[in-house]
Amino acid sequence: MESPDFRDFYRRRAAEYEAIYAKPERQADLRVLEKLIPERMAGRRVLEVACGTGYWTARVARTARRLVATDAVAEPMQIARSKDYGGRGVRFELADAYALAPSLGNFDAALAIFWWSHVPRSRIGAFLDSLHARLERGARVLYMDNRYVEGSSTPIAGRDAEGNSFQVRRLGDGSENRVLKNFPSEAELRADLAPYAASLSYRELPYYWLVEYELK
């Protein structure tokens, strides 16, 4: 993740992270995505970036041929490791998304959920180069993240000169934390991915966006 402070926030947030999936207004979207995302990863050798507490790992593991789940922070991954994967083999590895090691293996699919929004604009190319180096040509790549929805999303608390936006997140311990959280447009995503992506598709739900492409 982009800074030690960011990692520290997610260490402290690990136990309460999955509360984001309880918002009543988002349930219909989540049911669609919980069906769609495992279907798109079915039968694939999948590399998951920023697996967190394993909410999506557990769902994708049901359909994937093989799954390696990575995160930069150990505490949420400990929660992910404790989940029941129904006998499906899932390998967990601490990893820097900007420097994914060859030892992780080679894959024909990749998944990153709620990660793109935390990538600084200046580091998108570095992330994509790192991820694509672990993928075979023609690999299926899928990103899913939040849309900004007034009244449901945490308000934007500021922007920097690069165009990154920030939110102030409050944890159960009462602490306030300034967190990078970008909400890219379809045009921005297509521009960032154009050098790498074939057959790119973009889908908007009321609260989330989903991008899928084949690696050139």
pLDDT in tens, 80-130: 999 988 888 899 999 999 999 999 999 999 999 999 999 999 999 999 999
Is residue 3 pLDDT above 70, yes or no?
A: no
Is residue 134 pLDDT above 50, yes or no?
A: yes
Written in H, E and C, the secondary structure of 109-125 is EEEEECCHHHCCHHHHH
Q: What SS3 class is residue 75?
A: helix
Task: Delimit the domains of the chain by residue range.
Answer: 4-151+185-215
Q: What SS3 class is residue 171?
A: coil
Of the pLDDT bands very low, low, confident and very high (cuts 50, 70, 90), residue 2 is: very low
Q: What is the mean pLDDT of residues 1-12?
A: 55
Alpha helices in 23-160 (DSSP H): 27-41, 55-60, 74-81, 124-132
Q: Average pLDDT, whole number, for the chain?
A: 92
CB within 8 Å of 129: residues ≥ 6 apart:
none
Is residue 20 pLDDT above 90, yes or no?
A: no
**pLDDT given for residue 87 in this prediction:** 80
A 10 A CB-CB count for 205 gives 16
Least confident of 44-48, 68-72, 125-129, 168-172: 168-172
**pLDDT given for residue 10 in this prediction:** 63
4-151+185-215 CATH: 3.40.50.150
Helices (H) and strands (E) counted in the chain, each on its own, are 6, 10
Out of 13-17, 174-178, 195-199, the most confident range is 195-199
Sign of the four-CA dihedral 95, 180, 168, 51: negative
Q: What is the pTM of this model?
A: 0.93
CB-count exposure of residue 142 (10 Å: 0-12, 13-18, 19+) = buried
For residue 197, the surrounding DSSP H or E stretch is: strand 197-204
Of the pLDDT bands very low, low, confident and very high (cuts 50, 70, 90), residue 169 is: confident
